[in-house]
A = this chain, B = another copy of it.
Amino acid sequence: MQLIPNGRIWIDTDKGSFLGYGRIELLEKIQETGSLRKAAMEMKMSYQQAWNFIKQMNESVSEPLVITQRGGKNGGSTTLSETGLLAIETFKKYNEAFQLFIQSQSIQL
By a beta-carbon cutoff of 8 Å, the part of chain A in contact with chain B is 1-15, 18, 60-63, 83, 86-87, 90, 94, 97-98, 101-102, 105, 107-109
Chain B nearest Cβ from A12, distance in angstroms:
4
Distance, CA A3 to CA B7, complexed state (A): 20
Copies of this chain, whole number:
2
Would you call B4 and A7 a contact (CB within 8 A)?
Answer: no
Would you call A3 and B9 a contact (CB within 8 A)?
Answer: no
- List, in ascending order, chain B residues with CB within 8 A of A7's CB: 7-10, 98
Minimal Cβ-Cβ distance residue in B for A2? B14
Would you call B94 and A109 a contact (CB within 8 A)?
Answer: no
Distance, CA A102 to CA B98, complexed state (A): 9
